[in-house]
Structure 1
Amino acid sequence: MAEINSTERKSSGVKKVISWLLLIIFLGLGAFVYYKYYFVFGEGVKSGYLNYAVKKGNLFKTYEGKLIQEGFGSGKTGGITSNEFVFSVDDDSIFQQLELNSGKFFDLHYKEYHGVLPWRGNTVYVVDRIVNMK
């Protein structure tokens, strides 16, 4: 009878360790996914002329756009190029306003994430509102 009790205690101890380990792994994985894809790393406003606003995608149709900012930056080949801000849009009404006013000057508020989700867009920058349009 003493042998049965010690065997039961050992197996219940192993089950506790395994269940705690699985819980810690699950919580760690959840924290990583939140930090990588949902935690807002930064937010701000970018200004420039709207170059394009498009709806594209194979499986998930997302809204994408490009803002041409005033000033010049250094290109990869050593030449001078314009500054570009490539972004995604998560709201239909914001996209429609951008689509109808291509070429105008915009101040766009955006949120920056660490990772890209396919249903949110192709970039880590997601525009959530239009601050000003000229």
Structure 2
Amino acid sequence: MRKFISWTLLILVLLGGGLIYWKYYFVFGEGVKSGVLNYAVKKGNLFKTYEGKLIQEGFGTSKAGTGLTSNQFEFSIENDSIYRILEVNSGKVFDLHYKEYKGALPWRGNTVYIVDQIIQMRDIKAGSY
């Protein structure tokens, strides 16, 4: 009986570890988003994380599905060097590479989208956005 309990506990621990890895550490998707940087902030109660928002060109539907809203991409920022660039260049157009996870961790940020690279930064052209 002791052997059965040991094997059962080992299997449960391995399954639990696998689920935690899949939910919080497995990169579900990655890509590039472009838009005008609305803000970059450092915030948090216990864990201070870097957060930002891009305003993308075009319109989407509101959460209730009744009206139009601007397309917004809210993200967390991986490290302070990326944050420093974003913080002093608010209002410029950015192409940001991000990784998407299934769940957010409090020390990684408030969102499942983590920006890990700035691909391009440019000023807004006249007539766009």
Per the normalisation by structure 2, the TM-score is: 0.92
Match of 1:119 among 107, 110, 120: 107
For this pair of structures, how many residues does the alignment match? 121
Q: Give the greater-gyration-radius structure (CA).
A: 1
Could you list the runs of 5+ residues in structure 2 that have no partner in the other structure? 123-129
% identical equivalent positions: 71
* Alpha-carbon displacement from aligned partner over 1:49-89 (angstroms, at most 9, x marks no partner): 00000000000000000000001112235222110000000
Q: 2:42 aligned with 1:55, yes or no?
A: yes
What SS does the aligned partner of 2:60 have? strand
Bigger share in helix:
1
**Structure 1 counterpart of 2:81, one-letter code:** S
How far apart in 2 are the matches of 1:55 and 1:108? 18
Cα gap change, 1:70 to 1:22, in 2 (>3 Å): same
Structure 1: tracts of 5 or more residues without a match: 1-13
Structure 1 match to 2:78:
90
Alpha-carbon distance between aligned partners in 2 of 1:92 and 1:56, rounded to the nearest angstrom: 13
Give the letter for the 1:76 counterpart.
K
Partner of 2:97: 109
Question: Which of residues 87, 106, 114 is equivalent to 1:99?
Answer: 87
1:70 is matched with which residue? 57
Distance 2:8 2:63 in 1: 48
1:6-21 residue pairs with structure 2 within 5 A?
Answer: 14-21=1-8
The runs of at least 4 consecutive aligned structure 1 residues that moved more than 3 Å come to none
TM-score, with length taken from structure 1: 0.88
Instruction: Name the CA distance, whole Å, in 2 between partners of 1:125 and 1:70.
Output: 19
